[in-house]
Amino acid sequence: MNLTLKVWRQKNINDKGQFVTYQAKDIADDMSFLEMLDVVNEDITRKGEDPIYFDHDCREGICGMCSLVINGRPHGPKYGITTCQLHMRSFHDGQTIVIEPWRAAAFPVLKDLAVDRTSFDRIQQAGGYVNINTGGVPDANTIPIPKRVADEAFESATCIGCGACVAACKNASAMLFVSAKISQFALLPQGQTERYERAQAMVDQMDAEGFGNCTNTGACEAECPKGIKLTNIARMNREYFTAKFFRQEDIHA
């Protein structure tokens, strides 16, 4: 198939940026979206021009690197997949495809389609960890945990931190990401020691990074490639507000 691409090009974080039109020719249906961009970049490079800059790593849907808004939707038109899992059979010959980066003040554009997501790292560093010795795997296996709880914690832990939830939200809220990272610890015995301190620290850091508030529209859950549920946000709010009833010394006790 032959396609018309309107791609966001931006030299650096201070550049204004603009859309540039490219032609993608003889694209096979079984190519992934990123492979299609590779083909376009080869053609651009042969012309002596600067290729389109975009993030990628595993190309298996688990690294969370790919950050493309395709025709107005994070990761493209399919549900429950990342950009690298999107194939060109989802498009048709002659179609125009608009490609742009995540749009959020907390995700500044570094170049073209790549954004700076270190704000997520700083939120994780604020409290997304267990600071006690939990032993090895055999030790963990001796702690009885109901299957429903274990499954829910695992589902929260599947968040890959891609930022699609932020890109989908009209307020650029990171609450789905933060709530998933809080939930994966709050549900398990190993995460109880720092439970309330964790919620306060991570939510405070999220606010400091400039993310917006939850809109309650559910756009984040709809566009999440791992199907993280909105119920995590409710749990995060409970954890955060419950923590307000404790003194700081009680939290550390």
pLDDT in tens, 36-68: 999 999 999 999 999 999 999 899 999 999 899
- The DSSP letter of residue 29 is T
- Of the CATH numbers 3.40.50.2000, 3.20.20.70, 3.40.190.10, 1.10.1060.10, which one belongs to the domain with range 118-244? 1.10.1060.10
**pLDDT value, residue 140:** 72
**pLDDT value, residue 219:** 96
DSSP annotation string for 154-197: HHHHT-----HHHHHSTT-B-HHHHHHHHHHHHTSGGGSTTHHH
CB atoms within 10 A of CB 208: 13
| CATH classification code of 3-111 | 3.10.20.30
| pLDDT grade for 138, boundaries at 50, 70 and 90 | confident
Residues 184/156, Cβ–Cβ less than 8 Å: yes
Q: Which two tokens stand for residue 240?
A: 């955060």
Place of tokens 């493309």: 68
Residues 226/158, Cβ–Cβ less than 8 Å: yes
Residues 97/71, Cβ–Cβ less than 8 Å: yes
Residue type, 117: R
Q: Which two tokens stand for residue 56?
A: 């990628």
pTM of the model: 0.92
Residue type, 229: K
pLDDT exceeds cutoff 80 at 139: no
CA distance 144 to 247: 30
**pLDDT value, residue 196:** 87
Name the percent of the chain lying above pLDDT 90: 85
CA distance 61 to 59: 6
**pLDDT value, residue 247:** 58
Element (H, E) at 130: none
Element (H, E) at 115: strand 114-115
**pLDDT value, residue 243:** 84
Residue type, 31: M
Q: Which two tokens stand for residue 189?
A: 């015995």
Q: Which two tokens stand for residue 71?
A: 């025709």
CA distance 1 to 23: 11
Q: Taking the domains of the chain in order of start, what are their residue ranges?
A: 3-111, 118-244
